[in-house]
Structure 1
Amino acid sequence: MVDRVQVAGVGMVPFATPRRSESYDVMAQGAITAALTDAGVGMPHIQQAYAGYVYGDSTCGQNAVYGVGMTGIPVINVNNNCSTGSTALFLARQAVASGAADCVLAVGFEQMQRGALGSHWDDRPSPFARFDRVLDETLGPEDGVPMAPRYFGGAGQAYADRYGMDPAVFAEIAVKARRHAANNPYAVFRDPVTVDEVLGSPHIYGPLSRLQCCPPTCGAAAAVIVSEEYAREHGLRTDVAIAAQAMTTDKPASFDGDLLRLVGYDMTAAAARQVYEAAGVGPEDIGVVELHDCFTTNELLSYEALGLTPEGTAEKFIRDGQNTYGGAVVTNPSGGLLSKGHPLGATGLAQCAELTWQLRGDAGARQVDGASVALQHNIGLGGAAVVTLYEKVA
């Protein structure tokens, strides 16, 4: 086992809507090249590669990596729904931490199609069958409603009902996301919006309107992960380290009829606890977070699951401005999935890139003053949650 795992380099390409996107291999090659350049290494240094994507044929990872260099290394393709990018990162970190490799590439990419997410394999058992059954038993069967908004809209409404919260509070998260994204050249949606505009956009499901849902997005991001010893031997950066990381999946309680649990609240809380315990820090020590705001409702739920504010207090947390600059913790300075975009396979590594830049002090107008400990949260229904804690190394 190595003493410390370093993020030697990160890179990404500007995210885009499906109409304006390049092909997945071109985007991935751009992100890989940027990460290698940032790290100061070439493909011959990379000993393993983990390539994350959700929508694509097998070995798309090889096709993406081959465009940068064919060095004969293992290329492992990863698919874990919306947590795919951070799962690739998780595997890269494990490879380095275990001593199996010293210099590993994690890359995530997605070339998405327009419209709501859907299944491409209807001739076999769905991995969402047990989730759909609980949702139908709780909300009643509903035809013609997109899957993801139904899950997260239902969970958001359940939270609002439980704590007597005005669902309009969710819209304030979308306004904050756009405000942060205005300073991010990689983000898709950078124009400001008001609460009235968010609430006035077309209704989707429950408390969710269109501007409270992340858009189908294309993009790619990558990171070079190395051991501290390898970094020092090769003169690489050692200023950002992964202090702790955890991945969790569902337990039986996810299917007990509580919609918050169904969309991953318990997975997130368990992963966060493991990370805090391993790193010896608490949520009060976190200055900046990139969390999984696929919908405004899930950002609010994640505040509490990650321990950033006690259960039932998210409304006050938001209205007091504790989730933005000048508050307790800056959440999604990148603009998050809502405004930066959510190319499923790339999201986890885009979060890694943003937090690495924040800890280096390289985030420009998005910079969080004094950022020294950063938290990443990436979740995929089906399910998997990955929480990663980064630290600035003196």
Structure 2
Amino acid sequence: MSQKVIVAGVGMIPFAKPGNSKSYDEMGAEATLLALQDAGLAYRDIQQAVAGYVYGDSTSGQTALYRAGMSGIPIFNVNNNCSTGSSALFLARQMVASGMADCVLALGFEQMQPGALKSHWDDRVSPFHRFDSLCDEINPYPEVPLALRYFGGAGKEYMDTYGVGPEIFAKVRAKASRHAEHNPMALFRKVVSEEEVLQSPIVFPAAKLTRLMACPPTCGAAAAVLVSEDFARKRGLDRRVSIIAQAMTTDTPDSFDDRSMMKLVGSGMARAAADKVYAEAGIGPEDVDVVELHDCFAQNEVLSYEALRLCEDGGAEKFVADGNNTYGGSHVTNPSGGLLSKGHPLGATGLAQCTELVTQLRGQAGLRQVEGARVGLQHNLGLGGACVVTLYRLD
């Protein structure tokens, strides 16, 4: 892959609670048009498109994009659970970097239903059957919904391994709320304290996981337009932000063989992806200014600090206590408020992270602007599994 990949335009719509959003096709089209407007392009300029969503029928991507234009281009539909949006971005970047296309759209959207995530296909083997079996063995709480058992169990393992209490997760959630206060795209903008997080209803007692430590199901859409440097130069587009490295990883045997809840929820995939992008870009975690990572639960944000090498293993408690995850610290993490405050429409999340980081690197984030941000790191994780880590740089 030899061509430099520019992020010429990004766009997203405010996320909404299930039942309060427009239909997926309307949301997808709106985010697409916002990204095109931001890039200064028309739909006819797009040569290929990748649409990501989890809950929807085949070719839903076409249905959404046809509302923006019908130019006969190839449209690919992608589903990689919670990493779906970044998977669409990964494919779009490959198309441009390889020289196969000069202008590609990545779109993510989700129209979710209320309540816990569930399978809609009960007449065949579940893609989670191996994950569920191991979770049942090492974290047997059948009365607790599986998503809570997965990430709550990983958080419990972290607490037991490093001798920390649930306060670390409460501090992460409180930080997310302070960041979201200045983000008009965030669903929850009320600032909450560490004490309020700890006192909210407990949803998994054994793991000391409270309701405020979990992200809400949400509906929404986001999009990005990726172009080659030559295309951007010829069209006079904004060339300031580029993707300098990107990696997608899936599970390896140790996700199961090590009998670790932390590895079962993807910490190993995240570390492998992070190491690949640092090596590809020729920089280290110390060079990263701003991070958007996959905080579906506050527990996963803590695990991800270490998986992404933002701090050493077992060092998250000090990392948080020293304020290195917020403004004035070494790595401002989730200035958008993250999934915990912004919401998590599965297919849209990765492209919403992309939108936030591009906005930050351009210096357009207003009151939540990270001063002097030049390198941004994105981490998007889907169980089952896939993890995408992306590095952006301001040139």
**TM-score normalised by the chain length of structure 2:** 0.98
Q: Does 1:307 align with 2:309?
A: yes
Structure 1 residue ranges (4+ consecutive) displaced by more than 2 angstroms after TM superposition: none
Letter in 2 for 1:149: L
Partner of 2:335: 333
Partner of 1:278: 280
Secondary structure, counterpart of 1:347 in structure 2: helix
Cα distance per residue 1:348-369 (max 9 Å; x no partner): 0000000000010011111000
Give the 5 Å matches for 1:241-256: 241-256=242-257
Letter in 1 for 2:203: I
Secondary structure, counterpart of 1:20 in structure 2: coil
Q: Does 1:130 align with 2:130?
A: yes
- Contact 2:3/2:98 (<8 A) preserved: no
- Contact 2:52/2:79 (<8 A) preserved: yes
Paired positions, count: 392
Partner of 1:367: 369
- Contact 1:6/1:227 (<8 A) preserved: yes
Secondary structure, counterpart of 1:346 in structure 2: helix
Give the 5 Å matches for 1:50-129: 50-129=50-129
Partner of 1:238: 239
- Contact 1:2/1:227 (<8 A) preserved: no
- Contact 2:105/2:226 (<8 A) preserved: yes
Alignment partners' CA distance in 1, 2:314 and 2:305: 10
Cα distance per residue 1:159-214 (max 9 Å; x no partner): 00000001221111110001000110000000011112111111112121110000
Alignment partners' CA distance in 2, 1:25 and 1:163: 46
Alignment partners' CA distance in 2, 1:207 and 1:342: 22
Secondary structure, counterpart of 2:345 in structure 1: coil
Partner of 2:394: 392
Partner of 1:148: 147
Secondary structure, counterpart of 2:347 in structure 1: coil
Secondary structure, counterpart of 1:267 in structure 2: helix
Secondary structure, counterpart of 1:339 in structure 2: helix
- Contact 1:36/1:224 (<8 A) preserved: yes
For residue 250 of structure 1, report the CA deviation from its aligned partner.
0.2
Alignment partners' CA distance in 2, 1:207 and 1:54: 29
Secondary structure, counterpart of 1:161 in structure 2: helix
- Contact 2:242/2:394 (<8 A) preserved: yes
Structure 1 residue ranges without an equivalent (≥5): none
Cα distance per residue 1:268-309 (max 9 Å; x no partner): 000000000000110000010000000000000000000000
Alignment partners' CA distance in 2, 1:97 and 1:328: 31
For residue 2 of structure 1, report the CA deviation from its aligned partner.
3.7
Partner of 1:49: 49
For residue 22 of structure 1, report the CA deviation from its aligned partner.
1.1
CA RMSD of aligned residues (A): 0.7
- Contact 2:18/2:219 (<8 A) preserved: yes
Partner of 2:22: 22
Structure 2 residue ranges without an equivalent (≥5): none
Letter in 2 for 1:353: T
For residue 134 of structure 1, report the CA deviation from its aligned partner.
0.9
- Contact 1:239/1:360 (<8 A) preserved: yes
Alignment partners' CA distance in 2, 1:282 and 1:194: 33
**TM-score normalised by the chain length of structure 1:** 0.99
Q: Does 1:346 align with 2:344?
A: no
Give the 5 Å matches for 1:143-292: 143-205=142-204, 206-256=207-257, 257-292=259-294
Cα distance per residue 1:299-328 (max 9 Å; x no partner): 000000000000001011111111000111
Cα distance per residue 1:31-66 (max 9 Å; x no partner): 000000000110110000000000011111000000
For residue 27 of structure 1, report the CA deviation from its aligned partner.
0.8
Alignment partners' CA distance in 1, 2:314 and 2:150: 20
Secondary structure, counterpart of 1:19 in structure 2: coil
